Amino acid sequence: MKKILMLLSGILIAGVSFIGCKKDSDDEKANQFMVADTTISIATFQLEYWGLSNGVQEFYLDFLTPDLLYSADALVGEKGSLIYFEFESDDATGIPTGEYDINILKTTGGSAFSSGSYCLDWITGVGGDWGSVSSGTLSVTRDGNNYEISFNGKGSDDEIITLYFKGTCTFSDFSGSGDTKSTRSNR
């Protein structure tokens, strides 16, 4: 009887010991976007603010690899990959929490995501091949300057596009730069 009791106690202790051994990283998603079968790690989320236009605050949400960043008039960095979304918001401080389906026919007022583009092979001075987002849903959870953002959709060639980012944004105010938002598109 003692042997059976000791054996059962040993099995119980071993079972309890293994329960706490799960990797913590299994639950965390990587900051990345995927176009078709190409996965790109995101190093930076840059939120570009372009000011008030037609009653809404205009933004670009840029997700960039380590060596890229947007300035008011150019994409800065040697080479890399990026995806961005154009967004109109009632809030000048950032993107409100919510679910946003692409709305190519822009509306005045309210918050909406109106377009998106990506480039997987940007080289400064050369450019790259750009693709467009044609449909999908952008999900945003915001707490101050901290964001959790996901996107599920398709590109203009029917390719699957996904994105996940959780972290802080770099806020860039280009509203007083003298440039217009139209000079920023696909530089």
Query: Which range is most confident: 35-49, 117-131, 167-181?
Result: 35-49
Q: Closest Cα to residue 94, out of 134, 52, 131, 48?
A: 48
Predicted local confidence at residue 158, as pLDDT: 96
Predicted local confidence at residue 71, as pLDDT: 74
Phi, psi (rounded to 5 degrees) for 107: -115, 155
pLDDT tens, position by position, 101-153: 887 555 545 577 888 999 999 888 788 899 999 999 999 999 999 999 999 99
Q: What distance in Å separates the CA atoms of residue 173 and residue 71, rounded to the nearest whole number? A: 10
Query: Which range is most confident: 23-37, 71-85, 119-133, 173-187?
Result: 119-133
The pair of structure tokens assigned to 121 is: 């092979």
Query: Per-domain residue ranges for the chain?
Result: 23-183
Q: What is the reported pTM? A: 0.77
In angstroms, the Cα distances linking 169 to 12, 14, 63, 82 are 47, 44, 10, 15
The pair of structure tokens assigned to 161 is: 């596009």
